[in-house]
């Protein structure tokens, strides 16, 4: 029974260490890639964007991150595609195309959020499209990424996992030393008993 509980404790210890280390690496990646790209992080050529409004619910939840594929032919989207575009106020919006208008060289997209009652007021010029939504979304992580992009968030998210990892390493070392100390005391007591018996 003791061996089993020691085995479980050892695996729990390894799991906690791995989780803290993985969190630290993920936070370092998020912060560095955000700063390097001047905005949202990129993974394998896909940009990760934070969604901080409910205009596309229930498909895309508020606070999610989504992956968009940047580049390509921005004039080739069709009705039903979900695109991310930039407004005149430099806001990024992800909405569904409900109509496409071609006028010579120009392509205009009429867009609407799935959860909105009406279409967006202004049509989107193809040159303002950043990329197409790929269907990949992770709920609630967008809040974390937005926080990570702030100065306070960058500092906290880099420091906190490191401090936790160091604290946990200190605790593990203290626990090991305590166990070694207990063993040496047991050994000294056993030797003392042997000496008294002889």
Query: Sign of dihedral through CA atoms 159, 162, 166, 168?
Result: positive
Question: Could you give the residue numbers annotated as active site?
Answer: 53
Residue 82 contacts residue 133 (beta carbons within 8 Å): yes
Residue 73 contacts residue 127 (beta carbons within 8 Å): no
CA 188 to chain centre: 52
CA–CA distance, 60 with 137 (Å, rounded to integer) = 7
Nearest residue to 98 (alpha-carbon basis) of 86, 108, 87: 108
């Amino acid at each position: 029974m003791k061996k089993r509980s020691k085995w479980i404790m050892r695996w729990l210890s390894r799991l906690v260490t791995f989780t803290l280390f993985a969190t630290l690496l993920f936070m370092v990646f998020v912060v560095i890639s955000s700063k390097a790209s001047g905005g949202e992080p990129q993974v394998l050529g896909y940009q990760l964007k934070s969604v901080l409004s409910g205009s596309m619910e229930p498909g895309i939840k508020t606070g999610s991150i989504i992956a968009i594929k940047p580049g390509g032919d921005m004039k080739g989207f069709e009705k039903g595609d979900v695109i991310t575009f930039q407004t005149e106020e430099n806001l990024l919006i992800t909405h569904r195309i409900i109509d496409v208008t071609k006028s010579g060289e120009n392509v205009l997209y009429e867009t609407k959020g799935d959860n909105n009652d009406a279409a967006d007021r202004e049509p989107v010029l193809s040159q303002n499209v950043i990329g197409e939504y790929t269907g990949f979304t992770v709920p609630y992580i967008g809040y974390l990424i937005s926080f990570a992009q702030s100065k306070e968030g960058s500092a906290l998210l880099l420091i906190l996992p490191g401090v936790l990892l160091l604290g946990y390493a200190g605790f593990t070392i203290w626990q090991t030393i305590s166990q070694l100390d207990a063993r040496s005391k047991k050994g000294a007591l056993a030797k003392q008993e042997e000496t008294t018996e002889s």
